[in-house]
């Protein structure tokens, strides 16, 4: 990340949102990027509260004051732990709109949020609202699950060899510049079930399988060469099977602490966030997930 571009961490004060803020502070310290902590109070809920209790009732004002106090305390804690001075922003309104507008106003290099939260952030990450947020933003989004004890060590980068794969790798190297990279690709024999059903000889199908594996190996090595990765910086991980399931298996088997996915797949019209791969990793993976949204 460019030092002039800030990191925007969104919090609802839940435990995992705190992990996200701590990860954002660690990244800000490592890169020199400014850090902004943001909390959004749902405008509709505040409006209803004022209607029920009256516009002059002090409760709504007290809720805002309490939220600001929690933001300030979080910023103070991060300053003590990570020696980072964070700016705080308290907003009210549509959660997605407020986050998007603030990210644009800051020209944020990265959005950071917890994997599961309380209230709106739980729906943000695990429901359709998350897909809308990731679809509409052009900023990379880091979804944090783990307590950030250290910088990222091993990063699994999912490749489909589309133009967005290079962008995903670039984002991974900015967020985890010193991590060892695992370049992951899951290949499958095209129409294998139909080939079996059509009575194609198993030896012929196995030949196709070996061809698919060889092509995947060649593509991964060509990708690493085009990205100018040096020996020792990376390793291939080429497996057969469903990308969602195999990726989740390999993140654990290879002791990775971050998975990086591109927002788009082979086609410009294909959005993996509307399919199974990214959705599966966000919902079922066990490590942090970084989604590159840029084309």
Would you state the pLDDT for residue 234? 97
Would you state the pLDDT for residue 1? 54
Terminal alpha carbon distance of the chain: 17
> 86: which strand partners?
35
Which residue, 175, 120, 144, is CA-closest to 19? 144
Task: Give the SS3 label for residue 286.
Answer: coil
Would you state the pLDDT for residue 35? 97
> 234: which strand partners?
181, 231
Would you state the pLDDT for residue 161? 85
pLDDT, one tens digit per residue, over 257-295 is: 999 988 754 444 444 333 457 777 777 778 999 988 865
Q: Residues near 290 by Cβ (< 8 Å), separated by ≥ 6? A: 140, 141, 142, 143, 171, 172, 175, 258, 259, 260, 261
Are the C-beta atoms of 293 and 134 separated by less than 8 Å?
Answer: yes
Indicate whether this model's pTM tops 0.75: yes
Q: Can you list the alpha helix ranges (DSSP code H) found in 32-144?
A: 43-53, 58-82, 95-106, 120-126, 128-136
Q: Where do the domains of the chain lie, and which CATH numbers do they carry?
A: 7-144 (3.40.50.620), 154-292 (3.40.50.620)
Would you state the pLDDT for residue 87? 96
Count of CA atoms in the C-beta half-sphere (13 A) of 68: 10
Are the C-beta atoms of 208 and 193 separated by less than 8 Å?
Answer: no
Reading the block at residue 30, the tokens are 């490592």
> 67: which strand partners?
none
Determine the Cα–Cα distance for residues 230 and 211; give it in Å rounded to an integer: 26
- What is the phi/psi pair of residue 283, to 5°? -85, -35
Are the C-beta atoms of 122 and 282 separated by less than 8 Å?
Answer: no
Would you state the pLDDT for residue 147? 92
Say how far residue 44 (Cα) sits from the centre of its chain. 28
Which residue, 285, 288, 194, 277, is CA-closest to 241? 277
Q: What is the largest distance, in Å, between two alpha-carbon atoms of the chain?
A: 79
Q: Within the chain, which residues score under 50 in pLDDT?
A: 117-129, 265-275
- What is the phi/psi pair of residue 15, to 5°? -55, -45
Would you state the pLDDT for residue 7? 97
Task: Give the SS3 label for residue 185.
Answer: strand
């Amino acid at each position: 990340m460019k030092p002039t571009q800030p990191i925007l961490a969104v919090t609802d004060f839940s435990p995992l949102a705190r992990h996200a803020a701590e990860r954002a502070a660690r990244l800000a310290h490592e890169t020199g990027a400014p850090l902004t902590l943001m909390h959004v109070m749902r405008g509709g809920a505040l409006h209803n509260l004022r209607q029920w209790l009256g516009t002059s009732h002090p409760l709504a004002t007290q809720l805002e004051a309490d939220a600001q106090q929690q933001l300030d305390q979080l910023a103070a804690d991060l300053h003590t732990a990570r020696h980072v001075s964070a700016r705080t922003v308290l907003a009210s309104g549509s959660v997605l709109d407020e986050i998007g507008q603030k990210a644009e106003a800051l020209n944020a290099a990265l959005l950071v949020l917890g994997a599961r939260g309380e209230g709106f952030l739980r729906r943000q990450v695990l429901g359709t609202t998350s897909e809308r947020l990731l679809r509409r933003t052009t900023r990379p989004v880091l979804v944090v699950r783990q307590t950030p004890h250290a910088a990222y060590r091993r990063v699994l980068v999912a490749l489909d060899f589309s133009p967005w794969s290079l962008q995903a790798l670039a984002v991974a190297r900015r967020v985890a510049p010193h991590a060892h990279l695992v370049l992951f690709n899951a290949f499958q024999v095209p129409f294998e079930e139909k080939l079996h059903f059509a009575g194609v000889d198993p030896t012929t199908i196995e030949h196709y399988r070996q061809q698919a594996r060889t092509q995947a190996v060649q593509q991964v090595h060509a990708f690493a060469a085009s990205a100018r990765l040096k020996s020792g910086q990376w390793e291939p991980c080429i497996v057969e099977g469903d990308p969602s399931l195999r990726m989740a298996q390999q993140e654990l088997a290879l002791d990775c602490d971050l998975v990086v996915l591109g927002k788009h797949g082979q086609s410009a019209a294909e959005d993996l966030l509307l399919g199974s791969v990214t959705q599966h990793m966000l919902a079922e993976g066990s490590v942090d997930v970084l989604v590159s949204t840029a084309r």
